[in-house]
């Protein structure tokens, strides 16, 4: 018996000890030349002899281990090192992508039937020609007599699947007075934006029935929706007037918050830093957008503290507070402030009582027990 170790090794396939000159190692162990040629092929990547290989789209034959470096085309099942995703969540090779797929008209994702993927079709069905992008800003059309004009932004949530119908309903009432915009903070819904309106014109001419119709259709104001009122900067007689007006809001933040029906540190903060910089804002300095009074706009100040609502009195009270506060502080003198409590809420309430035009605000104050 030979003591040579090589002589003791036999082919795992046929049992011969005559192994020959080929590289005889394979996945099963040691095999002879004949068995390698008959039963095994070489992987083009790692050169291991295996029973079966898989083809790739670049002409290689690879073993199962090396196949992990590739992705299988979900269409032709060939391995590819350059797979492309489709709108269906499949991955396809370059050949299939070029010959069997095309881009969705909506999002550009690869599809193999129709013009749009399912997601874009659903989006198209659930969209409205009336709802513009958030950045949309047409040339303003003024209604009524200035210089004090108010612009409302009312964020509305709508029932799932009814975006198109609710947008149609809103625009049928709003007509040319305003437009609708997308707003990511709403979720499923839209923002009703009005062109600038004088206060008395708004109370008399705004389509208040629209709010009732939207509410009856199932629209609602969620905890994330707000009502923002823009006040024209041109309505103020001087920087001192702006200072008195802003100071009035910050000194009465607790009462204003009651009328606004919400306190939001995220969207409309009444904070000490902003209060300390009121004098700077009055001179034209731009502050943080998410303060109770946003000073970033060139033509308006934006009162952001109000909660959205589809109740007529809530919206009218917000407009009334914006307009009345401007007129109340217009001629407020140092003597009025220092000796007669001019910045006090109770004094403001007394002033309102003599002016029926602001009755919606006074009613809201009475109902919420914040007249004094």
| Per-residue pLDDT reduced to its tens digit, 235-285 | 999 999 999 999 999 999 999 999 999 988 888 999 888 999 999 999 999
Res. 120 pLDDT band, cuts 50 70 90: low
- C-alpha 184/C-alpha 174 separation (Å) is 22
DSSP H helices, 10-133, are: 33-39, 94-100, 118-125
What would you measure as the largest C-alpha separation in the chain, in angstroms?
A: 125
Contact predicate 182/134, CB 8 Å: yes
Res. 2 pLDDT band, cuts 50 70 90: very low
Helix axes 209-217, 163-174, angle to 10 degrees: 170
- C-alpha 207/C-alpha 193 separation (Å) is 13
Which pLDDT tens digit goes with each residue over 12-69? 788 787 777 655 556 667 778 888 888 888 888 888 888 888 889 888 898 888 888 8
Which pLDDT tens digit goes with each residue over 176-204? 999 999 887 787 899 999 999 999 999 99
Helix (H, G, I), strand (E, B) or coil at 24: coil
- C-alpha 127/C-alpha 104 separation (Å) is 17
Contact predicate 119/164, CB 8 Å: no
Which pLDDT tens digit goes with each residue over 222-234? 767 999 999 999 9
Contact predicate 361/321, CB 8 Å: yes
């Amino acid at each position: 018996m030979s003591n040579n170790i090589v002589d003791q090794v036999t082919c795992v396939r046929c049992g011969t000890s005559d192994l020959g000159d080929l590289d005889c190692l394979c996945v099963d162990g040691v095999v002879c030349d004949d068995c390698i040629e008959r039963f095994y092929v070489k992987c083009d990547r790692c050169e291991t002899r295996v029973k079966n290989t898989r083809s790739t789209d670049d002409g290689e034959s690879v073993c199962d281990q090396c196949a992990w470096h590739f992705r299988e085309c979900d269409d032709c099942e060939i391995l590819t090192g350059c797979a492309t995703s489709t709108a269906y969540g499949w991955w396809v090779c370059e050949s299939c992508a070029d010959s069997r797929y095309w881009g969705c008209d909506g999002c550009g994702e690869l599809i193999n039937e129709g013009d749009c993927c399912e997601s874009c079709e659903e989006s198209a069905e659930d969209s409205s020609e009336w709802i513009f992008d958030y950045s949309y800003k047409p040339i303003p059309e003024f209604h009524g007599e200035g210089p004090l004009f108010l612009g409302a932004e009312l964020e509305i949530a709508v029932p799932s699947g009814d975006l198109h119908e609710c947008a149609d309903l809103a625009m049928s009432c709003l007509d040319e007075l305003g437009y609708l915009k997308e707003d990511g903070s709403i979720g499923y819904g839209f923002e009703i934006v009005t062109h600038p309106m004088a206060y008395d014109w708004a109370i008399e001419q705004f389509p208040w029935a629209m709010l009732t119709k939207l509410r009856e259709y199932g629209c609602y104001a969620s905890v994330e929706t707000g009502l923002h009122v823009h006040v024209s900067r041109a309505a103020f007689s001087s920087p001192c007037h702006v200072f008195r007006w802003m100071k009035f809001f910050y000194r009465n933040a607790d009462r204003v918050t009651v009328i606004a029906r919400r306190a939001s540190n995220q969207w409309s903060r009444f904070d000490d830093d902003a209060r300390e910089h009121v004098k700077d804002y009055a001179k034209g300095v731009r502050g943080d957008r998410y303060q109770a009074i946003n000073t970033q706009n060139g033509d308006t100040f934006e009162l952001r503290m109000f909660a959205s609502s589809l109740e007529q009195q809530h919206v009218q009270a917000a407009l009334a507070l914006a307009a009345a506060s401007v007129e109340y502080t217009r001629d407020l003198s140092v003597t009025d402030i220092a000796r007669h409590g001019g910045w006090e809420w109770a004094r403001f309430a007394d002033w309102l009582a003599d002016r029926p035009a602001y009755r919606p605000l006074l009613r809201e104050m009475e109902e919420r027990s914040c007249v004094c």
